[in-house]
Amino acid sequence: MSTKAPTKSASTDDYYGPFTSDREKEVLGVPLKLVAAWAENDGDKVADTFVEDGVMILPGDVYKKNREEIRAFMTAAYAGPFKGTGVTGKPVDVRFAADDVALLRTHGGILAPGKTEIDPELAVRSTWVLVRRDGQWKLAAYQNSPRGEGATLRW
């Protein structure tokens, strides 16, 4: 998996990789929305990718239990440690647990300000639980863990 940020000329076919069905592409549109919201450092838009009772779990003991907590956390983060950052990633696995429930795994990470590649300590493996409500796919739960050289726990 590339650790480089996609460029405007990068093909969405490259992003989707082997996940070519219309249904898979619908689900994979949610991470694209989150990446775009993050590029704007917009906590409102990030929160809006989640259902009302969505959950976000991040390293550093971050556990947010609804859209408003996610919105407040991300807005504060963009004013502080995430200011000027971006995110990038690629899907690794897409599975459907039911017609309206999808499980997605991605590899990616945070792009430090001015960077086009993920620093090893900012690389993550993410799990996304998505649900379709009123015809739209939204995040019910998102969790990520450090991966690669940046992972601190070794077995």
Q: Looking at the DSSP assignment, which residues form a beta bridge with residue 139?
A: 50, 130
Q: Average pLDDT, whole number, for the chain?
A: 91
pLDDT in tens, 56-108: 999 999 999 999 999 999 999 999 999 999 999 999 999 999 999 999 999 99
Residue 23's pLDDT is what? 96
Domains of the chain, each with CATH number or no CATH: 12-147 (3.10.450.50)
Nearest Cα neighbor of 43 from 80, 1, 73, 5 is 73
Residue 150's pLDDT is what? 63
pLDDT in tens, 13-69: 789 999 999 999 999 999 999 999 999 999 999 999 999 999 999 999 999 999 999
Residue 5's pLDDT is what? 53
| Contact call for residues 49 and 85 (beta carbons, < 8 A) | no
Residue 152 predicted with pLDDT over 80: no
User: How many angstroms separate the first and last alpha carbons of the chain?
Assistant: 23
CA distance 88 to 108: 5
Q: What predicted TM-score, i.e. pTM, was given to this entire model? A: 0.89
pLDDT in tens, 94-129: 999 999 999 999 999 999 999 999 999 999 999 999
